[in-house]
Amino acid sequence: MSRWRGVGPGLIITAAFIGPGTVTTATLAGANFGAALLWTLLFATLATMVLQEMSARLGLATGAGLGQALRATPGPRWLGGLLAALAVAAVVIGAAAYEAGNLTGAGLGLAGAAGFTPRAWIAGGAVTAAILLWTGRYRLVERVLVACVAVMGIVFLLTAVLVIPRVPAILSGLALPRLPPGAGLTALGLVGTTIVPYNLFLHAAAVCERWEGADDLPAARLDLVLAIGLGGIVSAAIVVTAAAVLDAREIHSASDMAAQLGPLLGPWAAKAFTLGFAAAGLSSAITAPLAAAYATLDVLGHGRDIRAPLARAVFGGTMLIGAVVALLGTRPVPLILAAQVLNGLVLPIVAVVLLIAMNDRRRLGTHVNGWWANLLGGVVVVLTLALGVRAVVGVVWGG
């Protein structure tokens, strides 16, 4: 019988990727390119479902995470260790980059809502999150912050309906893949802020806390499809509201982004947005270092004790790097976008090693990937790699 323990793992994953990076990148996408990049968001949402389903299946079928599966890869002993080390390095780097964006977003939001400078709030947020993780008493705080993020998501959905979006433009943006001039980095950022590499490690652990084993796969799949689908709809609503309200407007701060909620909240838009933005940043600021620690513990076979010295060293290091980068960033909005772009560049590496792990019949038995899962996973790898190359070429050559 399934174990029902609080919020489903799928919703935890959604709450992890609906952070300042999603709000900022989706806002920039809508303000600068209208609905043209909605197809990227649709692809990213479906790809997240595909990859997270593999992660959940791995966890429930083996009782272990992605790191252990990689270490057991068939072939020479060094191959599994290399793949596991590569995956964890990519996850920790991605988590540190994400952390910089999370803390920056939290700092911007709190500065707009309560005064002081963003850097002061960044430092305070980093210290607070580190203390909560160190003591292990972060669950209640995390749930409160996730609830705030959920309220912000509802506000965006209501605003998207209120501004009466141009339906033909939305349908065109969803169905016709194209990259307007200068849109490469933003498109990659939309992918990197939705398909978060460290969430693949986090999900494999979370499903084992909620359910018994492979017999519960149907429930796990329904959970992730509903939750991630909802996250994709919220992200799309942000694009739509930004396209309708912030058309071609320069975006430099949280208050600039808050204007998109004006049609619904009027004079309350700025305060509501900055508080939601801060909550999104703080909740994700807890999740990113936590996932990096779980990934490292899993690879080394050290269990899931977040209070272990190794875990504390990893999440402390991730937090410190993110905080230093955030404090050094002089232009916060580009910094948040850059973190999502880096995640998008890291993603193909993690997706490839996940595909390798999901084809190990010795560990997964009948739960290995079928041809359709390998095909979908391969499409995700190819398209994310193509977007990454396109974005880098665009920066180098100015295209």
Classify the C-alpha dihedral 276-282-286-291 as positive or negative: positive
- pLDDT for the residue 41: 92
pLDDT of 184-232, one tens digit each?
888 888 888 888 877 888 788 778 777 878 888 898 899 899 889 988 9
Question: Which helix or strand (DSSP H or E) is residue 10 part of?
Answer: helix 9-17
Contact 241, 153 (CB under 8 A): no
Q: Taking 70 as the threshold, does the pLDDT of residue 135 lie above it? A: yes
Closest CA to 12 of 195, 342, 284: 284
Q: Residue 6's pLDDT band (boundaries 50, 70, 90)?
A: very low
pLDDT of 374-398, one tens digit each?
998 888 888 888 877 776 665 555 5
Q: Answer yes or no: pTM beyond 0.85.
A: no
pLDDT of 363-376, one tens digit each?
888 889 888 889 98
User: Over pLDDT 90: what percentage of the chain?
Assistant: 6
Q: Is CATH 1.10.10.10 correct for 9-397?
A: no
Domain locations in the chain as residue ranges = 9-397
Q: Taking 50 as the threshold, does the pLDDT of residue 3 lie above it? A: no
- pLDDT for the residue 5: 46
Contact 245, 264 (CB under 8 A): no
Contact 59, 207 (CB under 8 A): yes
Q: Looking at 122-136, 222-236, 249-263, 307-321, which range is the least confident one?
A: 249-263
Q: What is the mean pLDDT of residues 77-82?
A: 77
Q: What CA–CA distances, in Å, run from 387 to 2, 24, 67, 184, 379?
A: 39, 19, 26, 7, 12
Rounded to a whole number of angstroms, the distance between the first and last alpha carbons of the chain is 55
Q: What is the mean pLDDT of residues 50-73?
A: 83
Contact 395, 185 (CB under 8 A): yes
- At 37, is the secondary structure helix, strand, or coil? coil
